[in-house]
Structure 1
């Protein structure tokens, strides 16, 4: 019987047992896709990562990301958490660990900067691997039925509900109050209807709801639901946060902008997370999206295969 080591961390937090949990297999050599999927289903976290030697020796590692039901091309909290785990090691597949890492992923190359406090890695910043893409609009009534809220609570002053992506697509809708956000309850049957109607989100239909105030529009409260991926609610969704930050920045009238955004998520679940997003727009085009957050170790052990 073979064994493989694992580590779990809580991501987008510096406090254990909050934030978004992640399982990392730091050396996944010898595991096939089927075994990876079974391990991800066993952990039943929103994602589990599997680290392999890179195809290009100039890069740090190849990172494969699995939800409990499928492999996905990119996600935020798995990259931040995986970088934190690997940053604790002196070397990665025989190469010394520096402060800059490059992960090969299906969505493209993910550039990582490790951030240290008193010499110890405490957080990481990643660059989104893909340019901002904006998809089709989504009907208010469909969004409302997905999460059982009043369609009138959907705010369209800035944008109508729509898809956006910087590596992984999400449906986005702004709500008019924290009260409306707190009432959201996913209906899996309606999510299945939405996925059938909108083929753009090939992983199902992942819905990111958010609220922001006029006084502080760049501090955002959010919730994310993906019941078709066995993720009833996610406490922190970095890829969605990055896409939302890029999309909102693209809508600003200024042709040049440098925006810093704080996204608070997971509050309703008792797993508060804080996600940092920095977006740069030059000559009318979003050309850089950085995602950052802290992590903390929780568990380590081995899996018998």
Structure 2
């Protein structure tokens, strides 16, 4: 069997930045074990497999794997796959007025709008398939300091305290007082997984940013999925809308801001997070980002 694959850099407009992604097309004949083996071979944060949709009105079905596990939903594979499918299947429409891509993921249907902007870069925006919900109580600051290599006074700022949220996968969100502390954080190999348990990672964030146009600078240390640090985490960004709503109490209306991630890894990434508040309630979340094609080839299986 020979399958076509592509790699893209996601949440960036330039090559060799952002979060690398592998996309394997025509994967209907693969079983779970083979998909997991291919994801381990690529050894990227995620590899996405494109299959025929269960419902023919949709564009495609996706299965998403880290090197260690399958995920029900992830943001950078959603953005990258949507950009690739739009540019492969409808390049003329993409240039004229954009394309709507409907992706069946394990979490449910994810609707994406893909457009080519004035600079020629391609951007995908998707509606979060689930609104953020609070998870289990977050660890206290003292065990977090040991697990993350920080000082107690470096955790928390403004109204922000550690919390847990999920928009499909649950993470611990840790507010960090400064970017210097954020850059210095290092998970302890024993204490970190013991503290997080079943949660998929810890998302550290600060309001001190590298780029003046960003609102938040973040790092995501993964837990139990076969990677260490993720350069850009769209599912975490979707859940972060719950954090922002809980601790910033934004007014009713539409809101949009940029989360920068991956800068400490030399993989600068920019995630555009949107939300809508009605009567004080978070009612909609969107995640957007660019993606650029890096390579294409064949898998011989």
| TM-score (normalizing by structure 1) | 0.90
Alpha-carbon distance in structure 2 between the residues aligned to 1:218 and 1:281: 21
SS of structure 1 residue aligned to 2:125: strand
SS of structure 2 residue aligned to 1:171: strand
Residues 121 and 180 of structure 1: is their aligned pair in 2 closer, same or farther, counting only changes over 3 Å? closer
CA contact (8 A) 1:249 1:259 kept: no
- Structure 1 residues 16-64: Cα deviation after superposition (integer angstroms, max 9, x where no partner): 1111000001221211111100000111111110011111122111111
Residues 254 and 272 of structure 1: is their aligned pair in 2 closer, same or farther, counting only changes over 3 Å? closer
Mapping of 1:87-236 within 5 angstroms? 87-90=86-89, 99-117=99-117, 122-135=122-135, 136-196=137-197, 199=198, 201=199, 205-213=200-208, 219-236=215-232
Superposition deviation, residue 266 in structure 1:
0.6
Superposition deviation, residue 190 in structure 1:
1.4
Q: CA RMSD in A?
A: 2.3
Residues 158 and 268 of structure 1: is their aligned pair in 2 closer, same or farther, counting only changes over 3 Å? same
Residue number in structure 2 paired with 1:4: 3
Residue number in structure 2 paired with 1:68: 67
SS of structure 1 residue aligned to 2:190: helix
Residues 233 and 261 of structure 1: is their aligned pair in 2 closer, same or farther, counting only changes over 3 Å? same
Alpha-carbon distance in structure 1 between the residues aligned to 2:297 and 2:269: 25
SS of structure 2 residue aligned to 1:137: coil
Residue number in structure 1 paired with 2:76: 77
CA contact (8 A) 2:139 2:195 kept: no
Superposition deviation, residue 191 in structure 1:
2.2
Residues 137 and 118 of structure 1: is their aligned pair in 2 closer, same or farther, counting only changes over 3 Å? closer
Of residues 258, 265, 270 in structure 2, which corresponds to 1:262?
258
Alpha-carbon distance in structure 2 between the residues aligned to 1:268 and 1:252: 26
- Structure 1 residues 270-294: Cα deviation after superposition (integer angstroms, max 9, x where no partner): 1100110011111222111111111
CA contact (8 A) 1:74 1:168 kept: yes
SS of structure 2 residue aligned to 1:186: coil
Alpha-carbon distance in structure 2 between the residues aligned to 1:248 and 1:40: 33
Residues 29 and 3 of structure 1: is their aligned pair in 2 closer, same or farther, counting only changes over 3 Å? same
Moved over 4 A (4+): 118-121
SS of structure 2 residue aligned to 1:18: coil
Residues 161 and 254 of structure 1: is their aligned pair in 2 closer, same or farther, counting only changes over 3 Å? closer
CA contact (8 A) 1:5 1:301 kept: yes
Give aligned pairs, total. 294
Residues 253 and 19 of structure 1: is their aligned pair in 2 closer, same or farther, counting only changes over 3 Å? closer
Residue number in structure 1 paired with 2:288: 292
SS of structure 1 residue aligned to 2:221: strand
Structure 1 runs not aligned, ≥5 long: none
CA contact (8 A) 2:157 2:177 kept: no
Deviates more, 1:110-119 or 1:32-41: 110-119
